Amino acid sequence: MLAAAPTKLFPTSAQPAARAVRLLQDPANDAAAGSPPADGEHDMPAVSVAIDQAVHSTLARLTGGLSPAALADAWFDWGIHIAFSPGKQAALALKATRKNRRLGQFAFRSLTKGETAEPCIVPLPQDRRFSNPAWHSWPFNVVYQSFLLGQQWWHNATTGVPGVAKADEAIVEFSARQMLDAVSPSNSPLSNPVVLRETLVSGGANLVLGALNAVEDARRALGGLKPAGAEAYEVGRDVAVTRGEVVYRNRLIELIQYTPTTETVHPEPVLIVPAWIMKYYILDLSPPNSLVRHLVGRGFTVFMISWRNPGPNDRDLSFDDYRRLGVMAALDAVSATVPGARIHTAGYCLGGTLAAIAAATMARDGDDRLASLTLFAAQVDFTEAGELTLFINESQISFLESLMRSEGVLEARQMAGAFQLLRSNDLIWSRVVNSYLLGRREPMSDLMAWNADATRMPARMQAEYLRSLFLDNDLAEGRFRVEGRPVALSDIRVPVFAVGTERDHVAPWRSVFKLTLLGDTDVTFLLTSGGHNAGIVSEPGRTDRHYRIYTKAEASPYIDPDRWLQVARLGSGSWWPEWTGWLSARSGEHLPPPQSGLPDTPPLGPAPGTYVREA
């Protein structure tokens, strides 16, 4: 049973608009209205709150959950300060003059030298919009050079303004970049030479196909269907196919125990805690890409948590409920299956943060069941959490809370906008160009199909997570409380293996690296190529991958990230063998595999179970 919440953070009333009307008619009828009216007067503050929540939640649906107040506040801060900075204005005017002169000189060179003319500005390494050779011919080379110079000028204009708060500056620079990306010449069929050439060659067939693609995508989005091609990767048939049994279930998780594929196994089992923002099977994709299959093939008994997809009735599930009903319940089940064995626990993304909290709590309370702790792209300090922090401030969280109060959950589509904006060129505009202007569908992969299989977030849990961890950074600063008492990461004494990815836009590797500063144990940090998802799914045989690894001993002095890059050992290929080797070195000699399932309790069904199939 869930412990009763001391206060009802997210009342299970109907829509906020209906509640506001009810309160206006008779505030005394609403139990959530607050204390009885004084002197017979209506409780107008409760009415005001209900009206505000109704307005905010309605607006949030229109903006994808992004707070216009936070954006307006940042732009006002920038605008008022630049208005009173004549020196900055003069510098920007001078930069504009110089850039126009450089562009004019380049235009003249391109007329006389053609494609061999040296550009006056080059795109950033990650910007591939103008990489096609067609962009190097006149007049398209002048068009894209003009755009890049303008983009650079706006970066100068939105940064370095005296007096602007650092957080507001980041928001203004980010939003200006988003607006410029939207009007990039690569996004227009009239200014993109690749699109123009395709239109000429195909007689416009690409635009017809692109229109059909747009209609199909709109139909699927409005119908709540997965993207085109995702049906080729069905859970239990094409992905999440590693053999196993569901051995435990409660209202929040199913615990999967995978079938061993070796005659003997290490005595210490591995428990994986995936993030609940998505389905668990990113770590058990198609067989060649399955980390689970890799582990069982190397003599490990593997358990995996499969989170239930919450609905509006789960609005009061707390962050600590995820610890108790998730990590701790799973640890209890694993301990019952493999009695007396210490457990290697690994957490991915948000699941890693939760695993670290559970490990710190266990250390505080004298629970010594853990053999090691592994964190995949998981943060425990959120002060440098990258551009995602642009969407995490008091205004934004309050805005989201109004939306979540009305619906009980935060829908995946309401989170997707923020994540896509972090990589808008790759996740939004490149798709527009390829699918709608060139009429070409990007082939669906197992990772892309998984990415479209999102889940919901319970309102109370999400609010607590955003406030306590992202906004207030309570965990890193020793204020995060579990069962009424604070926990400290420095209490963790088991060896730690942490993985960061070079191009992570969700958990930047320098943020993940902070664990080496906060921990008081041996920490092996590995930095792999790739992004937040593709960097973790790095199966052996990938010759295009590399990684760096270095172990900081408990008694060793702190090494900052830049120094770490210099001393870390460089490896090629997948990082998975490094991790399994690290686990093996901290595990005992092989024994016969343990029983399947809890004692005297038959398995509840084959993997991947039922929770992962819930929409």
Catalytic residue set:
349
> Whole-angstrom Cα distance, residue 247 to residue 269?
14
Q: Is the peptide bond before 287 cis (omega within 30 degrees of 0)?
A: no
Supply the DSSP symbol for 613. G
Nearest to 30 by CA among 12, 4, 7: 12
Rounded-to-10 torsion of CA 591, 593, 598, 599: -60
Residue type, 408: G
Extract the tokens encoding 128.
Answer: 């591939």
Gap between the Cα atoms of 18 and 379, Å rounded = 39
Distance between CA 549 and CA 468 in Å, rounded? 31
Distances (CA, A) of 504 to 169, 375, 414, 500, 551: 22, 14, 21, 8, 21
What is the secondary structure of 211-260 as a DSSP string? HHHHHHHHHHHHTTPPPTTGGGS-BTTTBS-S-EEEEEE-SSEEEEEEPP
In angstroms, how far is CA 532 from the centroid of its own chain? Answer: 7
Nearest in space to 596 (alpha carbons), one of 111, 269, 124: 269
Report the alpha-carbon distance of residue 400 to residue 461 in Å, rounded.
12
Integer angstrom CA distances of residue 302 from 293, 392, 494:
9, 35, 19
Residue carrying structure tokens 């732009």? 75
Find where tokens 């400290």 sit.
488
Pairing of strands 496-501, 523-528: parallel
Angle at 520 between CA 518 and CA 524, to 5 degrees: 85
The helix or strand, by DSSP H or E, that contains position 72, with its residue range, turns out to be: helix 68-83
d(CA 578, CA 390): 35
Integer CA distances (angstroms), 181 to 127, 150, 185, 215, in order: 11, 11, 9, 23
Say whether 305 sits in a helix, a strand or coil: strand
- At which residue do the structure tokens 């069904």 appear? 605
Which DSSP string corresponds to 390-423? Answer: GG-SHHHHHHHHHHHHHHSEE-HHHHHHHHHHHT
CA angle 532, 68, 395 (to 5 degrees): 75
Please check whether residue 348 is in contact with residue 273, taking contact to mean a CB–CB distance below 8 angstroms: yes
Nearest CA among 274, 278, 282, 271 for reference residue 240: 282
- Main-chain phi, psi angles of 83, to 5 degrees: -65, -30
